Amino acid sequence: MDAFTFYPPRDFGPLMKGLVIGGMGIFHVFLAQFAIGGGILMTYLEWLHGRDECDDARPFLDGFFRLLVLVSFVAGAVTGVGMWLTSIQVGPRTIGRMVQHFHWIWAIEWTFFAVEVAAGYTYYRYANRLGHKHRLRLLATYSVASWFSLFWINGILSWQLTPGRWVETGNVWAGFFNPGFWPSLLFRTVAAMAIAALVSMVVINAMDVSRERKLALIRTVGRLLVPMVTMPVLAVWYVATMPEDSRSWVMGGSVAMNLFFGIAAGASLLVAAYALLGIMYRRLYINGATALMLVALAFGATAGGEFVREGARKPFTIRKVLYSNSITPAEVSHMREHGSVVDDPYPLERSYPNPQLEVGAKVYRLQCSVCHTMDGVNGVTHLTGSWSRTQARLNLAQLQQTKPFMPPFAGPASELEALVQLLAWHQAGEPDTWPESRDPAVLREIDGYLEEAGTDPSTEAQRAVSLKEKQ
Ligand code: HEC
């Protein structure tokens, strides 16, 4: 087996690493989807203008909305780079694999993005000097390019959760057009159009034109909300492509995931219901406050959806290939025998009263810190606060059974005991001296627990899968 590579560790204090990525991801996705939907909406209005079917298309297109789209695609790009910067610190091996497998796809995505930026900025800068034909071409180029940058990145991101046949064949296209590809691409496209329509309604309300003209414009842009009727079907399709265990987290196995899924679905339903009512009773006027509230709901739906998508992958960042803590399933067995942190060259950020606690701190840093903090968000000190030492030894040894969204513990009994001691030391208020725990009977006991737990991911999830296969 190749030697395990240690990358420089990164700590965000009380903020969980996963949460830092997730939080930035939500803003990024919202901005980027708005930038895509905004392009589609502007293209549509310019096209209507060419056919003399929308009187106020031009004042709208030349107004504030154009600036918003510019700001969002610049901010989308900046947060996008920010995402890679953070995730390469938190999960360098995950990003490494992605670059390795999808190198050219990434290059293609980047070219489309470059076209998007060039077309978008040219439009922003020169639209008022150009005629209809050239404006329409620029906008269409911008929209197509931005949608295709979604197309390409969507394949890489959905591959993480549903790598499909790629796991066996290693074929790039099998990985790219994985089971989750189409439902997630279509879902995001519909979401992008809906977000743009809602934001445009806020802008229209602020325009200096009569109420009738605003109403006419709102009805026109409201058409971009109609595809939302396909969202339930797309969501069911997407959830159906998820691996069995991931689906069970979403459907109730994890309270947090279930809750966020509920928020995403509920918020989308509210927006869609309001929009449909508005279209059915054609007089319904969406004022600025309502439009803002709908935008907020759409943001909530995006946040919930992204949380679920990121969370459903646990305990993997790349399904079946790499655990969230950057350890591969094969390495778990290897580390059970040889230790996980013996070769970790990076110093610890603080000092500990004895070498055993230092080992514990390194084990925590390598295996747990991606999803936990010591005593902040999802803090392990609190989670284990009520456990006896024996309980802690048992529950950590069978980590994948304790909560099926955790990977198996990857180290020998001595490292596990070091971790247990570290937690106990924190719970005791970090005293200056702390005895080492080297009782062979304790280590034998832990060995027994580890043996029983095995090195496979959650047996609960696996049992569900094999039961299904037998039926
Ligand atoms: C893939 C992410 C992930 C990794 C890696 C991970 N955990 Fe967890 N862990 C979770 C989640 C999510 C929960 C559930 C928190 C909750 O229920 O509020 C959890 C729960 C726990 C709990 C509480 C269990 C219970 O039954 O209440 C403990 C203790 C714990 N983890 C310890 C650890 C330790 C120690 C490590 C490292 C050896 C670790 N975890 C690695 C995600 C992870």
Q: Which atom of ligand 1 is nearest to the CA of 323?
A: 1
Q: Which atom of ligand 1 is nearest to the CA of 18?
A: 2
pTM for this structure? 0.89
Query: If you measure from the C-alpha of residue 178 to the centroid of ligand 1, how many angstroms do you get, rounded to a whole number?
Result: 29
Residue 459 has pLDDT above 80, yes or no: no
Lowest mean pLDDT segment, chosen from 10-19, 55-64, 190-199, 348-357: 10-19
Task: Give the contacts of 277 (CB within 8 A, at least 6 positions apart).
Answer: 284
Q: What is the pLDDT of residue 147?
A: 97
Q: What is the pLDDT of residue 460?
A: 52
- For residue 37, the SS3 value is helix
Q: What is the pLDDT of residue 377?
A: 84
**pLDDT tens by residue, 382-411:** 999 899 999 999 999 999 988 888 999 999
Residues 115, 121, 125, CA angle at the centre, nearest 5°?
145
Exposed, middle or buried: residue 20 (CB in 10 Å: 0-12, 13-18, 19+)?
middle
Mean pLDDT of 191-210: 93
**CB-based pocket (< 6 A), ligand 1:** 314-315, 324-325, 367-368, 370-372, 378, 380, 383-384, 396, 399, 402-403, 405-407, 409, 419
Closest CA to 138 of 113, 121, 162, 159: 121
Closest CA to 411 of 455, 358, 441, 374: 455
Between residues 377 and 391, which one has the greater pLDDT?
Answer: 391
Query: If you measure from the C-alpha of residue 414 to the centroid of ligand 1, how many angstroms do you get, rounded to a whole number?
Result: 20
Q: What is the pLDDT of residue 467?
A: 45
Residue type for 259, please?
L
Q: What is the pLDDT of residue 283?
A: 64
Q: Which atom of ligand 1 is nearest to the CA of 423?
A: 35
- HEC secondary structure over 147-169: HHHHHHHHHHHHHHHCCCCHHHH
Residue 171 has pLDDT above 50, yes or no: yes
Residue nearest to atom 22 of ligand 1 (CA): 383
Q: What is the pLDDT of residue 279?
A: 64
Walk me through the domains of the chain, giving residue ranges and CATH numbers.
17-316 (1.20.1630.10), 327-470 (no CATH)
**pLDDT tens by residue, 142-156:** 999 999 999 999 999
Confidence of residue 39 (pLDDT cuts 50, 70, 90): very high
